[in-house]
Amino acid sequence: MAERRVTIGWPEGLHARPASVFVRAAAAVGVPVTIAKAGGNPVNAASMLGLLALGAEGGEEVVLASDADGADAALDRLAKMVEQGLDELPAA
């Protein structure tokens, strides 16, 4: 299973607008991805309810993971987005 550990770059964490942006991006990468707080239970990264339930704050570490084909490229793109607090998914 491929995984990336990243620190959340959005000051407000994965709440409201950043969560919405991230959920759309996770759905767009085309592979199933999970997200978890370090040491926590993973949730579907494309689920707004799951993501909000994490309560992930800015500066906290999260783990993105997937075991699908193409996972490395998808996780790299999502990790960059989370780490830099971007408003859109970076180009492949």
Q: What is the pLDDT of residue 5?
A: 97
Active-site annotation holder among 2, 3, 9, 15 = 15
Q: What is the pLDDT of residue 59?
A: 96
Q: Could you confirm whether 32 is annotated as catalytic?
A: no
For 25-49, b where at least 16 C-beta lie within 10 A, e where not — what string?
A: bbeebebbbbbbbeeeebbbbbeee
19 CB burial (10 A radius; 0-12, 13-18, 19+): buried
Q: pLDDT of the chain along its 92 residues, tens only?
A: 999 999 999 999 999 899 999 999 999 999 999 999 988 999 999 999 999 999 999 999 999 999 999 999 999 999 999 999 999 888 87
Rounded to two decimals, what is the model's pTM? 0.94
| Domains of the chain (ranges, CATH numbers) | 2-84 (3.30.1340.10)
